[in-house]
Amino acid sequence: MTSSATRSEPAPRSVGAARAFDVGRVRAEFPLLARNGSLAYLDSAATAQKPRAVLEAMDRFQRERYGPIARGVHRLAAEATAAYEGARERVARFVGASPGEIVFTRGTTEAVNLVAWSFLRPRLAAGDEIVVTELEHHSNLVPWQLAAEASGARLVAVPIDGRGDVPVEAFARALSPRTKMAAIAHVSNALGTVLPVAELVALARERGVPVLVDGAQAVPHRPVDVAALGCDFYAFSAHKLYGPTGIGGLFGRRSFLEAMPPWQGGGGMIREVTIEKTTYDDPPRRFEAGTPAATEAAGFAAALDFVEALGWEAIAGHERELLDAIVTGLDAIDGVEVVGRPRERSGAVSFVLAGAHAHDVGTVLDHHGVAVRAGHHCTQPLHRRLGLAATVRASVGVYNGLDDVDRLLAGVAAARKLLVG
């Protein structure tokens, strides 16, 4: 996907003058990075570090407001329930939805599974089709495969082009009278491709096809308005945007949520239970069986406050500078190929070093204090399409600076000398 022209080793670069985005101040808010000051953490697409505000919000909830959610009449139960539902309201505002349209899940994966089994599976029959793209994360492939296998339906994959983009016209061709669902990423976790989601959703809706958007890699980097996107479902995880693991959000169009049966049964999602029959609560509680992740919800809300306080325009400008510096620097190293040149990139850059396995490059980088991801990034179909077994991925967050980019490039240059010669 890139030119194979010979390149020279990169010259050292200085961090430069202070910029509007004060990365030093931001990085100081992350205790793990403050403690490991020499670490260039470039693996945020896998999981982002947590700022002090998130850690303190979770600790404060445990110390001051912890109690059973919607299961008690005492004061602590009421306060804990109010905090939990307050977090739901915060998540709803974050994506431009109403609280009744936000289901708390364990993360993006569970959200996709919920839609696949509760919404789509009852509507699927033999011969039906589910449209996906070649660059989807396994979490936005495997649940649909399972639903298809159970019903006799099949997946139709929209091919990417030579840049790593998803052409709108190719998506339109994939839609047919047999299409019952489309599931697309907002941002590719492997290539950083930003998909034209609003256009793709509009095409699907013209044909009466519901759309789920996997927003896991979008929400840390850009504002999301589900109404503007027009999607029917939007799934995302807290731990990608500086929040805790074990919790995420699913936006669902209210009319769809009301028509969906429960996916899991248990406490907290019922109206009345008899031996013979159970009646279920309204959405979103209908889909939240069991004891909820209340502490994590507190951290989730705090993470959203933290990110939005930095400002989306400032975040976008800062991260664009980092990504441009990574691509430019990698292009200057002989034998390195950046994988994918999407028209719009967000969050991540993947690359290969000729003559070296990605895992070996990742190991050398680790010895140089640079944390990256090496492997197929849970996108084996994409890597197969590219003819690659594995790539190295550098992904950025608000705490990264140009000094981290310099360490990455120096580490890649060292890997080339050590592994290739």
Rounded distance between C-alpha atoms, residue 109 and residue 107, angstroms:
6
Closest CA to 365 of 333, 388, 342: 333
Closest CA to 92 of 300, 398, 293: 300
Residues in contact with 51: Cβ distance below 8 Å, sequence separation at least 6, in sequence order: 29, 30, 242, 303, 306
Q: Which residue has the tokens 């069986």?
A: 289
Per DSSP, what are the bridge partners of residue 353?
Answer: 336
One-letter amino acid at 226 equals: V
One-letter amino acid at 27 equals: R
For residue 18, the model assigns a pLDDT of 34
400-403 own/partner pairs: CB under 8 Å, 24+ apart: 400/23, 400/40, 400/41, 400/42, 400/44, 400/322, 401/15, 401/23, 401/24, 401/27, 401/322, 402/13, 402/15, 402/16, 402/321, 402/322, 402/325, 403/15, 403/40
Rounded distance between C-alpha atoms, residue 345 and residue 194, angstroms:
6
One-letter amino acid at 133 equals: T
Question: Pairing state of beta strands 348-353 and 391-395?
Answer: antiparallel
DSSP-based three-state secondary structure for 305? helix
For residue 399, the model assigns a pLDDT of 98
For residue 128, the model assigns a pLDDT of 98
Closest CA to 398 of 41, 127, 2, 12: 41
Q: Which backbone phi and psi does 179 adopt, to 5 degrees?
A: -70, 125
For residue 9, the model assigns a pLDDT of 36
Closest CA to 217 of 179, 188, 195: 188
* C-alpha distance from residue 4 to each of 7, 336, 351 (Å): 9, 9, 13
Catalytic residues: 378
One-letter amino acid at 25 equals: R
**Residue segments in the chain with a per-residue pLDDT below the cut of 70:** 1-19
What is the C-alpha end-to-end distance of the chain, expressed in Å? 24
8 A C-beta contact, residue 45 and residue 217: yes
Rounded distance between C-alpha atoms, residue 352 and residue 361, angstroms:
9
Rounded distance between C-alpha atoms, residue 218 and residue 203, angstroms:
21
Rounded distance between C-alpha atoms, residue 298 and residue 340, angstroms:
37
For residue 17, the model assigns a pLDDT of 33
CA dihedral 32, 37, 42, 45 (to 10 degrees): 20
Angle subtended by helix axes 294-310 and 52-60, to nearest 10: 150
Domains and CATH numbers, the chain: 23-37+311-419 (3.90.1150.10), 55-308 (3.40.640.10)
